[in-house]
A = this chain, B = another copy of it.
Amino acid sequence: MARLGILLSGRGSNFIAIADHIASGKLKAEIAIVISNRGDAPGIEVARQRGLHAVVIPSKGLTREAHDAQIIAALQSAKVDLICLAGYMRLLSPAFVRAFPQRIINIHPSLLPAFPGLEAQKQALEYGAKITGCTVHFVDEDLDHGPIILQRAVQVLDEDDVSSLSARILHEEHLAYSEAIAMVINGDCEIRGRCVKKSPRQR
């Protein structure tokens, strides 16, 4: 059974969706550790309530490298196979990315490369996009940039505000993230250059 490490900074709605998919048997994996950089993240409280191994590693007073070293050690000690960023609001240091090659994935609320960075839903509305969505991708050393595992499209409606659009995208995120995790841990896909393709045995 693949062991997942979850990193979050807030409510962790994508973490909860992953945990629900595991609990219902839709996703065959186990959550080995949930780490937050913030002690007050609602997601870490949910992890504790569900009896998961929940760890707070505050970044205050530490360099990025020193903080990341503590997180890397915790993930290694939990023997994780795949690290899932779920609203983790810190950039990973190059050393972190190199410690888990092709083993860190993230979800972003837009169809990358459109609208990278913060407030992607607001960016899409302000641009006047008619279609946006979400992207699950491997994490590399550049922000919102690594090879894309899957994307799901969402229509922008005339009456949308940031809240209504974000809610519809989030619904797709919750489906997309578990689907992408299954693809990666089952070996259904492989990275070629910056493209993610089905593995030969899946074709």
B158 touches A128 (CB 8 A): no
B148 touches A203 (CB 8 A): no
A158 touches B203 (CB 8 A): yes
In the complex, A5 has a CB within 8 A of chain B: no
Interface bin, chain A: 20 to 34
Stretch at the interface among A28-36, A47-55, A68-76, A193-201: A193-201
In the complex, A166 has a CB within 8 A of chain B: no
In the complex, A150 has a CB within 8 A of chain B: yes
From 122 to 157 in chain A, residues with beta carbon under 8 angstroms from any chain B beta carbon are 125-131, 133, 135, 147-153
In the complex, A113 has a CB within 8 A of chain B: yes
The 15 sampled A-B contact pairs (Cβ below 8 Å) are A111-B111, A111-B114, A112-B114, A113-B127, A126-B194, A127-B148, A128-B194, A128-B195, A129-B148, A129-B151, A130-B148, A130-B151, A131-B151, A131-B153, A153-B153
